[in-house]
Amino acid sequence: MKPDAFTTLYGIIGHPVYHSLSPAMHNAAFDAVGINAVYLAFDVTDLPSAVRGIRALGIKGLSVTIPHKVEILEFLDEVDDVARRIGAVNTLVNRNGSLWGGNTDWIGAVKALEEQTQLEGKRAVVLGAGGSARAVCAGLKERGAFVHLVNRTVENAKKLAERFACSWSGLDEIKDIEGEILVNTTSVGMEPDSHKTPVPSEILERFNIVMDIVYAPLKTKLLDEAEKAGCVTINGLRMLLLQAVSQFEFWTGRKAPINVMEKILYSRFA
């Protein structure tokens, strides 16, 4: 659909954003559903000015990515309860000048896992203690799973574990830990270090499902070794897709064309 004076504007703010897959995914979704809208990438280093611009220009919705997910909270009029608990926002909705913030990262993670198993009562081990770990921990706890947090820096593991009332340990104790689900939220295994894995391969047989939020490469060394150990594996694109589906539905109130979005996303890795 060709933009005109009635085109609604959406986008992503972050720094950098040149690598984002979101514009292609959301623009394809708008076209498929017949919505007169366009989604652009905005490289933002001055967040307060950007927020004023969002209100002034009437931008209807935004994805928020690194490094603005935490700082954006102080500029919003309303924040979803789960996003508040996570302490990070990745989705904005402009409601006639009033900015609402939510978090769909946890929804993407949970839905990706729920496609494979029920989460209530399951033991999940989460690797990492950054922003993505926050979202995954919150989602797992929301669904009634038992969460154990593992991180190289034990102080960070302890701090995040206290926030979400879960157990924790250092990475050096990973050989003594087991569960049904293992989720890697660290960047270990991301290109150009795709030869690396966050955990020893011999522990993977203790888990049924292994999910890696890294999606470049699509099959990380962790997922390759997990597959060989007999685990069900979930790649990082699944979480990215499902969190974007939730964003689209928050913004438009319409059911997202998930097949179209998935096709666009995976075509970038063909």
Mean pLDDT of 34-42: 97
Q: Do domains 8-103+238-267 and 107-234 have the same CATH topology?
A: yes
Predicted local confidence at residue 169, as pLDDT: 96
Q: Is the pLDDT of residue 199 over 80?
A: yes
Please choose, from the candidates 209, 203, 135, 198, the residue with its C-alpha nearest in 3D space to the C-alpha of residue 171: 198
Q: Is the pLDDT of residue 5 over 90?
A: no
What lies within 8 Å, CB to CB, of 266 at 6+ separation is: 237
Question: What's the rounded Cα separation, in Å, for the pair 204 and 225?
Answer: 8
Q: How confident is the model at residue 17 (pLDDT cuts 50, 70, 90)?
A: very high
What lies within 8 Å, CB to CB, of 172 at 6+ separation is: none
Q: How confident is the model at residue 268 (pLDDT cuts 50, 70, 90)?
A: confident
Q: Convert the pLDDT of each residue in 84-97 to its tens digit.
A: 999 999 999 999 99
Question: 85-91, long-range: CB within 8 Å, 24+ apart, which pairs?
Answer: 85/138, 85/164, 86/134, 86/135, 86/138, 87/134, 87/163, 88/131, 88/134, 88/135, 89/64, 90/63, 90/64, 90/65, 90/135, 90/243, 90/247, 91/61, 91/62, 91/63, 91/64, 91/246, 91/247, 91/250
Q: How confident is the model at residue 221 (pLDDT cuts 50, 70, 90)?
A: very high
Mean pLDDT of 197-217: 96
Instruction: Match domain 107-234 to its CATH number in 3.40.50.720, 3.40.980.10, 3.40.50.2000, 3.90.180.10.
Output: 3.40.50.720
What is the DSSP pairing of strand 8-14 with strand 61-64?
A: parallel
Question: What's the rounded Cα separation, in Å, for the pair 102 and 233?
Answer: 28
Could you tell me the residue ranges of all domains in the chain?
8-103+238-267, 107-234
Give the percent of the chain with pLDDT over 90. Answer: 92
If you search the block for the tokens 């593992």, which residue do you land on? Answer: 150
Predicted local confidence at residue 138, as pLDDT: 95
Question: What's the rounded Cα separation, in Å, for the pair 110 and 140?
Answer: 7
Question: What's the rounded Cα separation, in Å, for the pair 59 and 38?
Answer: 10
Predicted local confidence at residue 46, as pLDDT: 97
Question: What's the rounded Cα separation, in Å, for the pair 150 and 167?
Answer: 9
By the 8 A CB rule, do 189 and 162 touch? no
Question: What's the rounded Cα separation, in Å, for the pair 41 and 10?
Answer: 9
Q: Is the pLDDT of residue 270 over 80?
A: no
Mean pLDDT taken over the chain: 95
Question: What type of residue is 234?
Answer: I
What lies within 8 Å, CB to CB, of 136 at 6+ separation is: 105, 106, 109, 126, 183, 185, 213
**Catalytic site positions:** 69
Give me the CATH code for the 8-103+238-267 domain, please.
3.40.50.10860
Q: How confident is the model at residue 122 (pLDDT cuts 50, 70, 90)?
A: very high
Q: How confident is the model at residue 2 (pLDDT cuts 50, 70, 90)?
A: confident
Q: Is the pLDDT of residue 131 over 90?
A: no
Predicted local confidence at residue 3, as pLDDT: 85
By the 8 A CB rule, do 14 and 8 touch? no
By the 8 A CB rule, do 180 and 126 touch? no
What lies within 8 Å, CB to CB, of 234 at 6+ separation is: 112, 113, 115, 116, 209, 210, 211, 212
